[in-house]
C-alpha cells in the first residue's frame, strides 16, 4: 500500500512545487499542463498544471491547479507531515515553510521530541517532527 498526498492549488502549483523542490531537494516529475487536453477550460489557464509529482529522497506527493470552476477553500483538511532525524535540518525546514506563512505551534521541544506546526505561503498545513 502507498498513501500519498494530492495537493490542489489555485493557479500557483508550479511556483509551489519549485519552492518545495528546492527546500526538500526533490524534482518535479510527470508534469502535465492543460494545454493539449480536451477540457472546457479558459485559454489563459492552459499552461497551468493538470498533474505533477514531486519526488526525492523521502518525499513523494502529487499536485495540480484546480480548474477555475473548482474553487479552492483553504482549511485544515490536510497536513503534510515531515519526519527529520537531524534537529538543525528540521528547524531550518520549519523556518522556511513558516517564513511567509503562519506559525500555529513554534518549533520546540515536546515530550516526544521537537515539533512545530505551520501553514505555508500557499495555504498548505505542515507538521515538522524530530525525535532527537
pLDDT digits (tens, 9 = 90+) for 2-33: 778 999 998 999 999 999 999 999 999 999 99
Q: What is the residue-averaged pLDDT of the chain?
A: 91
Bigger pLDDT: 40 vs 122: 122
What are the structural domains, with CATH classification, of the chain? 6-65 (3.10.180.10), 79-130 (3.10.180.10)
Whether the predicted pLDDT of 76 surpasses 70: no
Mean pLDDT of 37-56: 90
Find the mean pLDDT for residues 58-70: 89
pLDDT of residue 16: 96
- Which residues does 34 contact at the CB level (< 8 Å), separation at least 6? 41, 45, 46, 47, 48, 49, 50, 65, 67
Strands 6-9 vs 59-65: parallel, antiparallel or unpaired: parallel
Q: How confident is the model at residue 97 (pLDDT cuts 50, 70, 90)?
A: very high
pLDDT score of 132 more than 80: no
DSSP structural state of residue 66: P
pLDDT band (50, 70, 90) for residue 88: very high
Amino acid at each position: 500500500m502507498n498513501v500519498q498526498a494530492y495537493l490542489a492549488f489555485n493557479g500557483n502549483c508550479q511556483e509551489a512545487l519549485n519552492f518545495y523542490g528546492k527546500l526538500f531537494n526533490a524534482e518535479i516529475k510527470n508534469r502535465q499542463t492543460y494545454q493539449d487536453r480536451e477540457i472546457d477550460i479558459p485559454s489563459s489557464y492552459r499552461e497551468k498544471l493538470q498533474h505533477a509529482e514531486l519526488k526525492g529522497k523521502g518525499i513523494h506527493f502529487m499536485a495540480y491547479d484546480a480548474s477555475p470552476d473548482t474553487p479552492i477553500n483553504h482549511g485544515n483538511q490536510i497536513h503534510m507531515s515531515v519526519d527529520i532525524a537531524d534537529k538543525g535540518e528540521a528547524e531550518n525546514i520549519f523556518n522556511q515553510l513558516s517564513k511567509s506563512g503562519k506559525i500555529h505551534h513554534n518549533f520546540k521541544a515536546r515530550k516526544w521530541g521537537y515539533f512545530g506546526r505551520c501553514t505555508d505561503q500557499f495555504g498548505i498545513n505542515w507538521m515538522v517532527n524530530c525525535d532527537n
